[in-house]
Chains A and B, each alone.
Chain A
Amino acid sequence: MILARLLAIVLGLLVSVSAAQSQRLAVDLSKSEVAISTGFTGTELLLFGATEGYGDIVVTVVGPRRGEVVRRKQRIAGIWVNQESVTFKSAPAYYRIAASKPLKQITSPAILDQLQIGVAEIDLVTQSRRPTKEVADFRDALIRNKKRLLLYSEDISDIKIVRDLLFRSTIPFPANVPTGDYEVTVHLFDAGKPISQVATSLPVRKVGLGAQLYSFAHAHAPWYGALAIVIALAAGWLAGVIFRRT
Chain B
Amino acid sequence: MGAKRQRPARTEFRYNTGYNLTMQIYLPIAEMSLNALMLLGLGGMVGFLSGMFGVGGGFLMTPLLIFIGVPPAVAVGTEANQVVAASVSGALAHWRRGNVDFRMGAILLIGGFVGSSLGVWLFTFLRSIGQIDFVIAASYVLFLGIIGVLMVGESVRAWCRARNPSAPRRKLHKHTWLHGLPFKMRFRRSKLYISALLPLFIGIFVGVLAAIMGVGGGFVMVPAMIYLLGMPTSVVVGTSLFQIVFVTANVTFLQSVNNQTVDIVLALLLIVGSVIGAQIGARVGGRLRGEEVRIALGLIVLAVCARVAWTLVVTPDDVFSLGQAGGHR
Q: Which residues of A pack against B, CB within 8 Å?
A: 36-44, 66-75, 78-82, 85, 87, 89, 137-138, 140-142, 144-146, 148-150, 172, 174-176, 178, 206, 209-211, 213-214, 217-218, 221-222, 224-229, 231-233, 235-237, 239-240, 243-244
> When A225-B262, A232-B85 are in contact, do A82 and B321 touch as well, CB less than 8 Å?
yes
**B→A interface (CB under 8 Å):** 1-3, 6-7, 9, 11-16, 19-20, 22, 24-29, 31-33, 81-82, 84-90, 92-93, 130-131, 133-134, 138, 245, 249, 252-257, 260, 262, 264-265, 267-268, 271-272, 275-276, 278-279, 312-316, 318-327
Q: Could you tell me if A41 and B14 are in contact, using CB atoms closer than 8 angstroms? A: yes
Contact (Cβ within 8 A) A236 B86: yes
Residues of chain B within 8 A of A68, CB atoms compared: 322-325
Q: CA separation between A236 and B253, bound complex, in Å?
A: 17
A79 closest partner in B (C-beta): B312
Interchain CB contact under 8 A, B312 and A80 = yes
Bound-state CA distance A206–B81 (Å) is 23
- A229 near B260: Cβ-Cβ < 8 Å: no
13 contacts between A and B (CB under 8 A): A41-B24, A43-B15, A70-B323, A80-B316, A85-B323, A89-B325, A225-B252, A225-B254, A228-B256, A232-B267, A237-B89, A243-B275, A244-B93
CA distance in complex: A228, B80 (Å): 10
CB–CB A145/B264 < 8 A: no
Contact A225 B325 (CB under 8 A): no
Enumerate chain A residues within 8 angstroms of B253, measured Cβ to Cβ. Answer: 222, 225-226, 228-229
| CB <8 Å contact, B19 and A39 | yes
Complex formed: what's the CA distance from A243 to B131 in Å? 42
B322: contacting residue among A70, A79, A89, CB under 8 A: A70
Query: Is A221's CB under 8 angstroms from B134's CB?
Result: no
Partner of A138 from B19, B87, B320 at Cβ < 8 Å: B320
Collect the chain A residues with CB atoms within 8 Å of residue B27's CB: 210
CA distance A118 to B22 in the complex (A): 35
B138 cross-chain contacts in A, Cβ below 8 A: 79
Known: A70-B321, A176-B31, A210-B26. A228 touches B81 (CB 8 A): yes
Q: How far apart are A183's CB and chain B's nearest CB, in angstroms?
A: 20
Q: A68-B325, A145-B321 known; A221 and B257 CB under 8 Å?
A: yes
Contact (Cβ within 8 A) B264 A243:
no
Contacts of B313 in A (CB 8 A): 78-80
State whether B252 touches A206 (Cβ < 8 A): no
CB distance A221 to B32 under 8 Å? Answer: no
CB-defined contacts of A75 to chain B, threshold 8 Å: 315
- Identify the closest chain B residue to A239 (Cβ): B275
Q: Point out the residues of chain A lying under 8 angstroms from B16, CB to CB.
A: 39-43
B88 to chain A, nearest CB (A): 3
Known contacts A69-B325, A176-B31, A243 near B11 by CB under 8 Å? no
**CB pair A228 B12 closer than 8 Å:** no
> How far, in whole Å, are A236 and B88 apart by their CA atoms in the complex?
6
Alpha-carbon distance between A224 and B32 when the two chains are bound, in angstroms: 20
Interchain CB contact under 8 A, B131 and A82: yes
- On whether the beta carbons of A144 and B316 are closer than 8 Å, the reply is no
Contact A74 B319 (CB under 8 A): yes
Q: Tell me whether A210 and B92 are in contact (CB under 8 A).
A: no
Contact (Cβ within 8 A) B323 A71: yes
Q: CA of A133 to CA of B271 in the docked complex: distance in angstroms?
A: 49
Question: Closest residue of chain A to B88, judged by CB?
Answer: A236
Task: List residues of chain B with CB within 8 A of the CB of A69.
Answer: 130, 322-325
| Bound-complex Cα distance A146 to B133 (A) | 20
Could you tell me the distance between the alpha carbons of A221 and B318 in the complex, rounded to whole angstroms? 35
Closest chain-A Cβ to B132's Cβ sits at a distance in Å of 10
A150 near B89 with CB under 8 A, answer no
Interface contact B13-A42, CB-CB below 8 Å: yes
- Shortest Cβ distance from B57 into chain A, in angstroms? 13
Closest residue to A223 on the B side, CB-wise? B256
Question: Which 10 A-B residue pairs are closest in the complex by CB-CB distance?
Answer: A240-B89, A67-B325, A225-B256, A141-B320, A236-B88, A239-B275, A236-B85, A232-B84, A210-B28, A232-B85
Do the beta carbons of A175 and B13 come within 8 Å of each other?
yes
Closest CB-CB distance, B87 to chain A, in whole Å?
Answer: 7
Say yes or no: B88 contacts A71, CB within 8 Å: no
New contact pairs (18) apart from A79-B313, A228-B262, A232-B88, CB-CB < 8 Å:
A36-B26, A40-B33, A41-B24, A43-B16, A75-B315, A82-B131, A146-B322, A148-B3, A149-B322, A206-B28, A213-B265, A224-B260, A228-B256, A229-B249, A229-B252, A236-B87, A239-B85, A243-B89
Are A232 and B82 in contact, CB atoms less than 8 angstroms apart? Answer: yes
> Shortest Cβ distance from A244 into chain B, in angstroms?
8
Q: A175 and B325: CB pair below 8 A?
A: no
Contact A144–B22 (Cβ < 8 Å): no
- Whether A221 contacts B256 in the complex (CB less than 8 A), given A67-B326, A148-B9, A232-B82, comes out as yes
A42 and B256 contact, CB distance less than 8 A: no
CB distance from B83 to the nearest CB of A (A): 8
CA distance A244 to B279 in the complex (A): 10
**Smallest beta-carbon distance B286→chain A, Å:** 14
In the docked arrangement, what's the CA distance between A194 and B264, Å?
49
Interchain CA distance A237-B85 in the complex, whole Å: 7
Distance, CA A244 to CA B89, complexed state (A):
10
